[in-house]
Amino acid sequence: MSVLPLFTWFEHSWMGEGIRASRWLFPAIESVHLLALAVIGGSVLVVNLSLLGLGLGRRSAAQLWHETWPWFAGSLALMLGSGFLLFTSEAVKLYYHEAFWVKMSALLLSLVFTATVQRRTALADPDRVTPWRSRAVGLVSLLLWFVVGAAGRWIGFS
């Protein structure tokens, strides 16, 4: 079953029409999207660099996880909300754009990985996590988030 009718409905909803009809709404929402990207990128980097052994000072990955969590959760909510608004204004174009599907799949994988494997590794007793496991988790997480960001940019380019 295709989701094209649903995407078409979003594009012709009052939200999609309103954003498309305005000269400034799309860029304004995209600015919020990109400001939130800077915050989420920062919190993802801090925890993953620590897992890679390039941490900030003497703070453990667990401490950094707890400290960055509110920033991560808040900016994620902003990214999802602003992303959804942008989506409604060009849903049919996005349906046919492979980068959009790459981005959504990578986002889903990143969120699942962050909430499960990365969370368990960051919060585990450091004596029970080998440096190799910690580095591998940091690297996979960075790669997944990089694909989300790169695919987002790819949509803008084409």
Quick one: 36 or 134, whose CB is closer to ligand HEM?
A: 36
Between 49 and 124, whose beta carbon lies closer to ligand HEM?
49
What's the sign of the alpha-carbon dihedral 120, 106, 52, 44?
negative
- Type of residue at 108: L
Tell me which residues touch ligand HEM (CB under 6 A): 33-34, 37, 40, 76, 79-80, 83-84, 86-87, 90, 107, 148-149, 152-153, 155-156
Nearer to ligand HEM, 84 or 96 (CB): 84
**What minimum distance in Å lies between the beta carbon of 91 and ligand HEM?**
8
- In this complex, which beta carbon is closest to ligand HEM, that of residue 37 or of residue 51? 37
Q: How far is the CB of 110 from ligand HEM (least distance, A)?
A: 7
Half-sphere exposure of 36 (CA within 13 A, CB side): 19
Radius of gyration, alpha carbons of the chain? 18
Taken as a whole, the chain contains a residue count of 158
Instruction: Note the helical H segments in 52-126.
Output: 61-89, 91-95, 98-113, 119-123
Smallest separation, CB 60 to ligand HEM (Å): 25
